[in-house]
Structure 1
Amino acid sequence: MTGAQASVRRARPGDLPEVARLAAEHAAFEKADPPPPGLADRLHALLFAAATPRLRCLVAERVDATLVGYATCEPAISTWDGYEYLHMDCLYLRPGHRGLGLGPLLMNAVAAEARALGIAEIQWQTPVWNDGAIRFYRRLGARSKDKLRFTWPASPSDPVGQ
Structure 2
Amino acid sequence: MIRTVDISDVPVIHAMIRELADYERAPHEARATEEQLRDALFGEHPAVFGLIAEDDASGQPVGFALWFRNFSTWRGTHGVYLEDLYVRPSARGGGHGKALLTELARICVERGYSRLEWSVLDWNEPSIGFYKSLGAVPMDEWTVFRLTDDALAELGS
Q: TM-score, with normalisation over the residues of structure 2?
A: 0.85
| Paired position in structure 2 for 1:149 | 144
Percent identity for Structure 1 against Structure 2: 28
Q: Quick one: structure 1 residues 80 and 37, their matched pair in 2 at CA, closer, same or farther if it must change by over 3 Å?
A: closer
Q: Which runs of 4+ in 1 moved over 4 A?
A: none
Give the C-alpha shift of residue 37 in structure 1. 5.5
Q: Quick one: structure 1 residues 113 and 54, their matched pair in 2 at CA, closer, same or farther if it must change by over 3 Å?
A: farther
Residues 28 and 34, structure 1, Cα contact 8 Å, conserved in 2: no
| Paired position in structure 1 for 2:36 | 42
Please report the RMSD computed on the Cα atoms of aligned residues, expressed in angstroms: 2.2
| 1:132-147 paired onto structure 2 within 5 Å | 132-146=126-140, 147=142
| Paired position in structure 1 for 2:96 | 102
| 1:1-162 paired onto structure 2 within 5 Å | 7-32=1-26, 33-36=28-31, 38=33, 40-50=34-44, 53-62=46-55, 63-146=57-140, 147-153=142-148, 156=151, 158-159=154-155
Q: Quick one: structure 1 residues 80 and 29, their matched pair in 2 at CA, closer, same or farther if it must change by over 3 Å?
A: same
Q: Report the structure, 1 or 2, having the larger helix content.
A: 2
Give the C-alpha shift of residue 110 in structure 1. 1.2
Residues 26-72 of structure 1: per-residue CA shift (max 9 Å, x gap)? 0111112242262x21121111123x632111011113232111011
Q: Quick one: structure 1 residues 128 and 158, their matched pair in 2 at CA, closer, same or farther if it must change by over 3 Å?
A: same
Q: Which amino acid aligns with 1:84?
A: H
Runs of 5+ unmatched residues, structure 2: none
Aligned mates of 2:46, 2:36 — CA distance in 1: 12
Aligned mates of 1:76, 1:16 — CA distance in 2: 23
| Higher RCO structure (Cα 8 Å, ≥6 apart) | 1
Q: TM-score, with normalisation over the residues of structure 1?
A: 0.83
